Chains A and B, each alone.
Chain A
Amino acid sequence: MKAGLNLIEASVLLENNETSSVELTKIYLDNINKGKELNCYNTVSFEEALKEAESSDKRRREKKSKSRFDGIPIGIKDLFCTKNIKTTASSKILSNFVPTYESTASQNCLNAGLISLGKLNCDEFAMGSTNKTSYFGSVINPWKSKNSDAHLVPGGSSGGSAAAVAADLCIASLGTDTGGSIRQPASFTGTVGLKPTYGRVSRWGIVAFASSLDQAGPITKTVEDAAALFEIISGYDSKDSTSSIKQKENFYDNLNSSVKGMKIGVPKEFKSDDLPTSTQKAWDDCKKLLQENGAELIDISLPHTMDALPTYYIIAPAEASSNLARYDGVKYGIRENGKNLIEMYEETRSIGFGDEVKRRILIGTYVLSSGYYDAYYIKAQKVRSLIKSDFNEAFKRVDAILTPSTPSTAFEIENEPKDPVQTYLNDIFTVPVNLAGIPAISVPFANDENNLPIGLQLITNSFEEQKLLNIAKNVQDTINYTPNLDKWWIK
């Protein structure tokens, strides 16, 4: 069987009885074993996955499959609570936590018969864009620069989810995206990453980072897979008050790749002399391609783009500082005893959280403090609404917006800038989308001069994922990007 199956290919093989769920699952478990060095998984569910695969095969024999994807092995970011399976958010503080419940999004996958291979490494509490903040160590990007043997970051925070798909350690995966955490690692690994409209996928059972920004989505090999997996995980959930009551849509069946007559906006604020030539070229090539396929290019302005990052770094830490208060050593997770309650808190949280998480809790606590609240939090909320209205204005004129996903391709793990603000700049193209609550997708477009993948980002208005996926498919089908990935970790 060909390596590197995608969701659709696997479903066809299963349907034609050319493989079984057990066979597929074994292959991927074996891949996981061989790919240990990549450090993609925090927890691998060897036994559970095989047991579930057997059940799936039985269902298929009895023509009782739960969906056409029944039996396909996927990976789940370690931020989704999974029943009876350790869920750590890649943090020491939750390193022993086993939920008694299953997140809605992952439950939706199980309801479709998908097999969970295990829990994918990520930045601690999804805070980071390198995967280096994980308590369980960095995920290694399966891609390497042409001229160097150095390990590269896979991006973050869903670095494990992206790297695992790229390296065939699962067929598809679930990630979450608060400021780019799906799209940036997808871009760094040559995979497709979709951040849906806020409210499309239930947040119930997902360890919260910044509640008003968090949104789960798929990381896959193809746009078709993204449509299929998105369709599976989306839908109204009464357990999440911010869940959209919009009907579930048949994103996969309704896919088409026509862009004829569509207006594609190109925001001038995203242009920069600092953009690597190859990224600039990819962006230009894509514009040309869309134009050739019948779309119209329109220059647009998103005037508050440069305010997005500082706004994000007020709102996200503010919410996080409150969301992470529950990790206090009292109820679950690790506890370091102290002489009194305060000491116990201090010890537990000092030891339990990593530096980046602490930094953001401190920032968040500060911006919500009395005397600073108006100057920071309230102001940030105002800017946020300006950013939203920028997009609203733009979407009066265009169907979608095209930008690079990231300002650079994957960089060396050891070369992460010392100044955290430099690292935060990784999210400069993705963050405005979260602030506006709209959907966006990162599609691999080309490789740069070092043979590292470049992703481009497409953005549409709220709940227009179908349009987004269609345009992405048009790009994908036209360029026919094939990752030319050397599996160096298999010795």
Chain B
Amino acid sequence: MINGWELVIGIEIHAQVKSNSKLFSSSSTDFGSGPNSQVSLVDAAMPGMLPVINKFCVEQAVRSGIGLNAKINNKSIFDRKNYFYQDLPQGYQISQFKDPIVGNGFIDIVLDDQTKRIGIERLHLEQDAGKSLHDQDPNLTFVDLNRSGIALMEIVSKPDMSSADEAVEYVKKVRSILRYLDTCDGNMEQGSLRADVNVSVNKPGNELGTRCEIKNLNSFKYIHSAIIYEAKRQIKLIESGESINQETRLYNIDTGETHSMRSKEDAHDYRYFPDPDLLPLEIENKWIEEIKSTIPELPDQKKNRFIKDYNLNEYDAGVIVSDKATSDYYEKVVKNRSPKLVTTWVTSELFSVLNKKNLSIDESPVAYDKLGELIDNIESGKVSNRLAKDIFEEMCEMGKSPGEIIAEKGLSQISDEGELEKLVNDVLIANPKNVEKYKNGKDKLFGFFVGEAMKLSKGKANPKLLNELLKSKLNT
């Protein structure tokens, strides 16, 4: 709700299928290769070339459909979506219009501990276009066809979301599921996953407003701010007595505003019709079952298991399982260790370093076994929590193991009774007045002695042993 207006949001996600070759040709799909280095005769739409479906891409779409709790259609049809553009070599995109490969499904999102079910309308397979480069020459546009023909899954939600936060959660969840399934790498910066967001506003109880579509949003931040901006824009227009034009809009990442790209009247007539070069895609239930049997544990199941097995709270579990690599990391560290300690270290210390350095968990400067070793040292009392943080910082910078750092810097706790006794004696001798005050009943001074002893030990004294020793000395 914004100022008494309800938001209605539906999202189309374009997710690049993780596959070594394209949807209808055998060219490679590697990102970042030289321009036009991954273009087959089919991708360049040479005369007489014909598309042949890549079975693996179909399998990936089926797998994704299963992960989205959706109906897999036994028969689907590839259509041609006709339009002219320089980076569309065929003059049409092969897509699925009336009969997509995947039908109705749903996913659950959690926001403020509330679970909400978002409906999935469909998932279909289509080809990506090439890339137009307008900045290489003042008068010419260059075209790179490496992307041309790469398989995309378009995942269309029902208009079930009612806030920008929900929209972001939805995209995050879909992305997470696809990454668990290994059907899309989810890399939004490289454009492997992007979203078109439909937004409309209405007063509660009134009928739905006219929607606008904001195209090509490739970060959670942009999705969020584009929706907020667009909703406010629509509210302002309606409140000032104007009406909303159904149109396609673009989000300007510099200004945070959306602006009109084309209105409904200018929309292309794509002249969809079944591609006569391709037979209907028929999928047997047997194959669907086979694929089903290979589906890994998905985020929701894993979350429930983590809550049960590791006693995690809903929130921490949600954060850890949202990314498969993070959950894998967590599980490796938590093995035979205290879940509470591991959770704290992963979600606060490790995450803050990764965020600061903008790294993924796979790029973590601290490998899971090193973090485990550090936690072992805490658990055994060899290092204090405070020291451990210093050691962790060093681990992040230098990539060394905690053992190395402890040995190098002599950071190991002093647990030797003789050594500790000497420390305590030194402190007591140096502060006779305070000893007297303590003995006369000023209990609060205990902390003072602990602090002095710690200072003297450069923080290495085993706090537990130190406490015990101090207490026994002072109380005799």
List the interface of chain A (C-beta within 8 A of B): 80-81, 87, 89, 94, 97, 99-101, 103, 203-208, 210-212, 238-242, 318-319, 321-322, 324-326, 328, 330-332, 341, 345, 365, 368-370, 373, 377
Partner of A208, one of B48, B92, B278: B48
The dominant DSSP class at the A interface is loop
Please judge, given known A-B contacts A203-B48, A203-B50, A322-B91, whether A242 and B82 are in contact too, CB under 8 Å: no
List the interface of chain B (C-beta within 8 A of A): 41, 44-53, 80, 82, 84-86, 89-92, 141, 143, 269, 271-273, 276-279
Taken together as a complex, chains A and B put the C-alpha atoms of A210 and B277 apart, in Å, by: 10
Taken together as a complex, chains A and B put the C-alpha atoms of A135 and B198 apart, in Å, by: 49
Q: Is the CB of A326 within 8 A of B271?
A: no
Question: What's the minimum C-beta distance from A391 to chain B, rounded to whole angstroms?
Answer: 20
Q: Is the CB of B46 within 8 A of A99?
A: yes
**B47 to chain A: which residues have CB within 8 Å?**
81, 87, 89, 94, 97, 99, 207-208, 326, 332
**A100 to chain B: which residues have CB within 8 Å?**
41
Q: Is the CB of A326 within 8 A of B52?
A: no
**A211 to chain B: which residues have CB within 8 Å?**
276-277
8 A-B residue pairings within 8 Å (CB atoms): A99-B46, A242-B277, A318-B273, A321-B82, A325-B82, A325-B90, A332-B47, A365-B271
Taken together as a complex, chains A and B put the C-alpha atoms of A377 and B272 apart, in Å, by: 11
From B82, which residue of chain A is reached at the shortest CB distance?
A: A322
**B80 to chain A: which residues have CB within 8 Å?**
322
**A328 to chain B: which residues have CB within 8 Å?**
84, 91
Taken together as a complex, chains A and B put the C-alpha atoms of A241 and B52 apart, in Å, by: 6
Partner of A81, one of B45, B48, B82: B48
Taken together as a complex, chains A and B put the C-alpha atoms of A341 and B139 apart, in Å, by: 11
Q: Is the CB of A330 within 8 A of B89?
A: yes
Q: Is the CB of B52 within 8 A of A101?
A: no
Question: What's the minimum C-beta distance from A326 to chain B, rounded to whole angstroms?
Answer: 4
Question: What's the minimum C-beta distance from A160 to chain B, rounded to whole angstroms?
Answer: 18
Q: Shortest 3 CB-CB distances between A and B: which pairs?
A: A325-B91, A211-B276, A368-B271
Q: How many A-B residue pairs have CB under 8 A?
A: 97
**A212 to chain B: which residues have CB within 8 Å?**
276
Question: What's the minimum C-beta distance from A385 to chain B, rounded to whole angstroms?
Answer: 13
Taken together as a complex, chains A and B put the C-alpha atoms of A286 and B307 apart, in Å, by: 85
Q: Is the CB of B48 within 8 A of A207?
A: yes
Partner of A330, one of B49, B50, B86, B272: B86
**A203 to chain B: which residues have CB within 8 Å?**
48, 50
Please judge, given known A-B contacts A325-B92, A370-B271, whether A206 and B276 are in contact too, CB under 8 Å: no
Q: Is the CB of A204 within 8 A of B48?
A: yes
Question: What's the minimum C-beta distance from A470 to chain B, rounded to whole angstroms?
Answer: 30
From B92, which residue of chain A is reached at the shortest CB distance?
A: A322
Taken together as a complex, chains A and B put the C-alpha atoms of A373 and B273 apart, in Å, by: 9
**A208 to chain B: which residues have CB within 8 Å?**
47-48, 277
Query: Which among B47, B53, B92, B278 has the highest number of chain A CB atoms within 10 Å?
Result: B47
From A318, which residue of chain B is reached at the shortest CB distance?
A: B273
**A239 to chain B: which residues have CB within 8 Å?**
50, 52
Taken together as a complex, chains A and B put the C-alpha atoms of A443 and B58 apart, in Å, by: 46
Q: Is the CB of A322 within 8 A of B273?
A: yes
**A99 to chain B: which residues have CB within 8 Å?**
46-48
Taken together as a complex, chains A and B put the C-alpha atoms of A24 and B292 apart, in Å, by: 62
Please judge, given known A-B contacts A81-B48, A326-B45, A368-B82, whether A241 and B271 are in contact too, CB under 8 Å: no
**A238 to chain B: which residues have CB within 8 Å?**
52
**A331 to chain B: which residues have CB within 8 Å?**
44-46, 89
Q: Is the CB of A322 within 8 A of B86?
A: no
Question: What's the minimum C-beta distance from A490 to chain B, rounded to whole angstroms?
Answer: 35
From B44, which residue of chain A is reached at the shortest CB distance?
A: A331
Taken together as a complex, chains A and B put the C-alpha atoms of A211 and B84 apart, in Å, by: 20
Partner of A319, one of B41, B272, B276: B276
Q: Is the CB of B51 within 8 A of A241?
A: yes
Please judge, given known A-B contacts A81-B47, A240-B50, A241-B50, whether A377 and B86 are in contact too, CB under 8 Å: no
Question: What's the minimum C-beta distance from A94 to chain B, rounded to whole angstroms?
Answer: 7
**A325 to chain B: which residues have CB within 8 Å?**
82, 84, 90-92
Question: What's the minimum C-beta distance from B129 to chain A, rounded to whole angstroms?
Answer: 12
From B273, which residue of chain A is reached at the shortest CB distance?
A: A368
* Given A99-B48, A332-B46, A377-B273; 16 other pairs, CB 8 A cutoff: A81-B47, A94-B47, A101-B46, A205-B48, A212-B276, A238-B52, A241-B278, A325-B82, A325-B91, A330-B89, A330-B143, A332-B47, A341-B86, A345-B84, A369-B269, A373-B272
Question: What's the minimum C-beta distance from B40 to chain A, rounded to whole angstroms?
Answer: 10
Query: Which among B85, B86, B272, B273 has the highest number of chain A CB atoms within 10 Å?
Result: B273
Partner of B271, one of A324, A330, A345, A369: A369
